[in-house]
Amino acid sequence: MPKSSKIMFITGIFLFFIIFFLTIFVHFFAYDPLLTTGELFSPPSFKHIMGTDQLGRDVFSRVCYGTAPSLTIAFIAVILSLTVGTPIGAVSGHFAGKVDRIFSVIFDALYALPGIILAILIAAMVGPGVINTSVAISVEFIPPYFRVVRGIALSFKERPFIEALRALGARPRDLIFRYMIYALPSIIALMVLNMGSAILAVSGLGFLGLGLPPPTPEWGTDLGRGRDFITMGVWWISLFSGLMIVISVIAFNLVGEGLHEILGTKTSGKEV
Amino acid sequence: MRLREYFMIRLAMVIPTMLLIATVVFLIMHVIPGDPVVSLMGARAGSEKQIEIIRHSLGLDRPVYEQYLSYMGNLVRGDLGDSLVRKRPVISEILTSFPATVELTLFSMLISIPLGIYLGMVAAKRKGGKVDGIIRIGALATWCTPVFWIGIMLQIFVVLYAPMFPLSGRLSGRIILDRITGLNLLDSILTGNIVALVDSLKHLILPVFTLGTAMAASLTRLSRANIIDVLGEEYIKTSRLKGSPEKIVFQKHALPNALIPILTYAGLQTAMLMGGAILTETTFSWPGLGRLLFFAVEYRDFNLIQGCVVFFGLIVCLVNLLVDIIYAIVDPRVRF
């Protein structure tokens, strides 16, 4: 693995651990994110490193406490899309023919709908909440899993040892299970990359007001609310919330791409 | 097969895809639990009787398959229903807002495509070097940044350091512009309205810069990867062994071949562009289709939501069609 890729991968892991550490031990070094002090809109200072927001809450604490909701929703969403996309991809690749064509056409149509639009549509229908938002985001990420697993199933299907297994009496479900196992490296790399995109999606919904209900601290929501105060010169709310988004997405992307190189899987170019 | 046949078949494929998209949207809107009428009325919800009356007038008490059939039937005739909040046909709301989005996305592409391809080219040529590293990191960082954050950062910068650019909207309130095409730049040129032209440009700068930069990130990574791949091909080696100067090798042999796959990516980019446009329009209060969708969601105007989403799908489909045709013209191997 080339040296530059190694550096990026290690950086990603490093950032990842910082974020992890942040989420778990947040109580020890941050104030209560819901606590309203009297000091509204105070700029960054020693007391409040990232300033306070429109209700006097410490922005740094909100940013730190916001890690858990965003990451949780993103994680659930990725698991959901994985769970739906992988089996369908394996089945579709195994049976090929008409079944494959139907599923492929459906997923191609799904690709035409921009991800955030799909998420907005579903979030608008089901309302706020952790599970609801996860579901809204997950639909957008199902097609990549479908494609990858289907590709692997198709490529393995014709191999001699699979034929041998069939001759020995393997049932379709055994073979389908096998395809999913062989797809595991690709799936894992895809999962990590998708986490990055999922975090962007969560914050996007939050920014539009469709995420978690207030006063839950969430990066996108805080960013969106902070927008109203920019003309007053209050830049710290939006800036720091957004900064956390950037850092965490970069972390997942670095690790994900590093995984692709290590595991030898190829990006299809569509996730680029 | 011949180009014309490919064109016909590809064109015919658009229709089932569109129907599928419309169906998916219908399913999402009608199968998910939640009472649309209650959501619509929100705090103004009245008695059960009132809710029933409204439900009946919207046709929501009919069986689902009947609603689906009338929905699809109306759709193919171009009737997307009426906006529940504004009482106007959805299609006219969409067509009023659409030119603004076209203006935004077109100019954003004007920035993102040259910038992305150029940076990718530079990075590929100096692969492994410092410049390559900087470009890669920059592209990655930009790709990982939410587009609305870029927009807000620019707004903050303008507020604090350069208060000459407008932060939102498309045209200052005091300027009057006759609407011909709906594209402000074009209209102001056509009507000779210099004041409006300058004003439109000033309003365009921040949003276009935001969306253009965001889109350029993925294009940079893609073109870099493609050019690197192409530079490793046999025919490039042959060209060099032949003694062709490096410049010719690059411009005449490598670049055209690398750019073709990037063209297909343009189709996918359209979906990303539409998504990014929604966020950008909301950030800058740009009165386009994205912001229309956002308001529709805020007011639970389901017909409008449905119409906007289907329209977005249509745009992406048509752009994909265009890209496929161009691809088939450029690369004769690809016609099925």
pLDDT value of residue B335: 57
Residues of B in contact with A109 (CB under 8 A): 17, 20-21, 24, 313
In this predicted structure, the answer to whether residue B190 has a pLDDT above a threshold of 80 is no
In this predicted structure, the answer to whether residue A61 has a pLDDT above a threshold of 70 is yes
In a domain, A196, yes or no: yes
* Residue A204 contacts B where some CB pair is shorter than 8 Å: yes
Whole-angstrom Cα distance, residue A9 to residue A252? 10
Residue B97 in contact with residue B289, Cβ under 8 Å? yes
Asked if the Cβ–Cβ distance from A112 to B24 is below 8 Å, we say no
Residues of A in contact with B28 (CB under 8 A): 121-122, 125
The CATH number covering residue A236 comes to: 1.10.3720.10
SS3 A58: strand
Mean pLDDT of the residues in chain A: 84
Averaged pLDDT, A119-133: 85
To 5 degrees, how large is the angle CA B315–CA B1–CA B267? 20
pLDDT value of residue B225: 84
Closest partner residue to B271 (CB to CB) among A114, A200, A272 is A114
Q: What is the ipTM of this complex?
A: 0.86
In a domain, A272, yes or no: no
pTM of this prediction exceeds 0.80? yes
* Of A60, A192, A213, residue with least CA distance to A132: A213
In the structure, what pLDDT confidence band is assigned to residue B42 with cuts at 50, 70 and 90?
A: low
The number of distinct structural domains making up chain A is 1
pLDDT value of residue A196: 92
In this predicted structure, the answer to whether residue B336 has a pLDDT above a threshold of 60 is no
Averaged pLDDT, B266-270: 75
* Residue A266 contacts B where some CB pair is shorter than 8 Å: no
In this predicted structure, the answer to whether residue B287 has a pLDDT above a threshold of 80 is yes
> Rounded to the nearest 5°, which phi and psi values hold at B66?
-70, -40
In a domain, A270, yes or no: no
Residues of B in contact with A120 (CB under 8 A): 278, 293-294, 297
In this predicted structure, the answer to whether residue A188 has a pLDDT above a threshold of 80 is yes
Asked if the Cβ–Cβ distance from A239 to B156 is below 8 Å, we say yes
Indicate if the alpha-carbon torsion angle A159, A163, A164, A169 is positive or negative. positive
Whole-angstrom Cα distance, residue B196 to residue B188? 6
In this predicted structure, the answer to whether residue A122 has a pLDDT above a threshold of 80 is yes
In the structure, what pLDDT confidence band is assigned to residue A6 with cuts at 50, 70 and 90?
A: confident
The shortest C-alpha distance from A231 to chain B (Å) reads 6
Averaged pLDDT, A75-101: 89
In the structure, what pLDDT confidence band is assigned to residue A271 with cuts at 50, 70 and 90?
A: very low
pLDDT tens figures, B54-80: 777 777 777 777 778 888 888 877 777
* Of A223, A132, A136, A209, residue with least CA distance to B297: A209
In a domain, A82, yes or no: yes
Averaged pLDDT, B211-215: 92
B63-92 in b/e form (b: 16+ CB < 10 A) is eeeebbeebeeebeeeebbbbbbeeebbbe
Residue range of the domain that includes A250 = 3-38+45-263
* Residue A43 contacts B where some CB pair is shorter than 8 Å: no
In a domain, A212, yes or no: yes
Residues of A in contact with B10 (CB under 8 A): none
Closest partner residue to A114 (CB to CB) among B29, B167, B274 is B274
pLDDT value of residue B321: 84
* Residue A227 contacts B where some CB pair is shorter than 8 Å: yes
In a domain, A248, yes or no: yes
A157, burial (CB in 10 Å: exposed 0-12, middle 13-18, buried 19+): middle
Tokens standing for A161?
A: 């040892």
In a domain, A271, yes or no: no
pLDDT value of residue A268: 44
Residue B149 in contact with residue B210, Cβ under 8 Å? no
Residues of B in contact with A110 (CB under 8 A): 24
Averaged pLDDT, A138-162: 87
In a domain, A84, yes or no: yes
Whole-angstrom Cα distance, residue A188 to residue A194? 10
